[in-house]
Structure 1
Amino acid sequence: MSRVNKDHRKNAEGYNDPTAFEAMKRVKDPRRQLQGKRSKVVGEYFENLISSACDYYRVQSIAHIEKTPEPMKPLKPVPRQPGRFIACFEKAAQPDYKGTIRGGQAIVFEAKHTDNDRIERGRLTQEQLDGLEKHYQLGALTFVVVSFAFQDFFRVPWTAWRDMKKIYGRKYVKAEELESYRVKATSQMILLLSGIT
């Protein structure tokens, strides 16, 4: 005589038997995985365009600009993999790049890419907004480098980004509205300091 399990979440052997919904929650969505991989590749490409410009400006003694490392806290080493560890972010991200341009002025900026026809002010975290504002108040050159589909590049002054709602009447901006902030780019770098130095 077989026993009927009264707990429907367990099978006859007593193991968990998740519903289809619970099982699907455990399966990774391939569309999300693909989007995540694409976002990572796009982000790395954008960062490489900026890093190439930073290298160029450093070699030309125009500026010394570095990518701000994400503050991470090591939690534990990865077994049998020397030099590798499991870590977590300690706090929200700071502005992406910091440095000094010739003459001694500090420079701090964030970099954002979009494949859409607009970019929203909310793409920056509150900590990034606060960081840019603090640096701006202290006299640093502050801005947001924006890429639209790797076709159009803009150096948006911090005050224009900060006051987007007041200037444009909404918390997003389209590429055509940023025309006065356009910067040139080659296949290897974004000339983000053109017109400044």
Structure 2
Amino acid sequence: MATWNSRGLRGSTLEDMINNTNEYYRQKNLALVQKIPTPITPIKIDKDSSQITLAYFEKDSTVDYIGVVQGVPVCFDAKECATDTFTMRNIHEHQIRFMEDFERQNGVSFLIIMFSGRNELYYMRFEELKGYLERVQNGHVNNFKYNELDPNFFIRAKGGALVHYLEPLSRDLDDRG
């Protein structure tokens, strides 16, 4: 079983930004999307701070977020990358399977990737992700580079939405026909 430690907090800034955006969307009646907690079993708890210092994951999680946007079911995962090279090892097989199953049910799956060195966010369509996965299966290195990404799917802040993913989601839906 996987264990948890402070490395698990790496994406907390991105998640805070997404959580704030989702609350903004909810208040504006644009979307209802919630963070899915990862079930853990605590092993060690710091007696002074009452914080969990070691735990294990009870089971594989699905994705970070799930909900509905104007009647469209969505699920997505938030990933962070400090460099211009994103390693595919950051995406787990059980997450890919869940996203694929979600798409089969006419939902929309995607990643939100924060390139923290550039302070830029990217909406990665599931089809694009599958293309990179297929490339790896065909012997390509297990990553993709920032400069390979579609400029139409970078995410900009807008109004009260720090991670305004509804615009690239709309483009994604348009491309699906």
TM-score range, shorter chain: 0.7 to 0.9
SS at match of 1:191: coil
Q: Which has the higher contact order (CA 8 A, sep 6+)?
A: 2
The RMSD of aligned alpha carbons is: 3.2
CA 188–195 in structure 1, closer or farther in 2 if over 3 Å, else same: closer
**Correspondence for 1:61 among 13, 29, 38:** 29
Whichever of the two has the greater Rg, that structure is 1
Q: What is the SS of the residue equivalent to 2:61?
A: coil
The equivalences for 1:1-197 within 5 A come to 39=7, 42-73=10-41, 88-102=56-70, 104-149=71-116, 151-166=119-134, 170-178=141-149, 179-185=151-157, 189-196=162-169
Amino acid at match of 1:138: Q
**Unpaired stretches in structure 1, ≥5 consecutive residues:** 1-35
Alignment gaps of 5+ in structure 2 = 171-177
Distance 1:136 1:76, change over 3 A: same
Instruction: Determine the C-alpha separation between the residues in 1 that align with 2:168 and 2:24.
Output: 15
Shift in Å at residue 88 of structure 1? 3.8
CA–CA distance in structure 2, aligned partners of residues 172 and 100 of structure 1: 30
For 2:104 and 2:161, locate their aligned partners in 1 and report how far apart those are by CA, in whole Å.
Answer: 33
- Find the aligned partners of 2:9 and 2:39 in 1 and give their Cα distance: 22
Task: Indicate the percent of aligned positions where both proteins have the same amino acid.
Answer: 21
Q: SS at the partner of 2:32?
A: strand
Task: Tell me, yes or no, if the aligned pair for 1:153 and 1:185 is still in contact at 8 Å.
Answer: no
Detail structure 1 runs of 4+ shifted over 6 Å in the superposition: 74-79
Distance 1:170 1:44, change over 3 A: same
Whole-Å Cα distance in 1 between the matches of residues 37 and 59 of structure 2?
Answer: 12
Q: Which moved more, 1:109-118 or 1:160-169?
A: 160-169
Please give the alpha-carbon distance, in whole angstroms, between the structure 1 residues aligned to 2:42 and 2:135. Answer: 43
Give the number of equivalent residue pairs.
158
How many Å separate the matches in 2 of 1:158 and 1:146?
13
User: C-alpha displacement at 1:180, in angstroms?
Assistant: 2.8
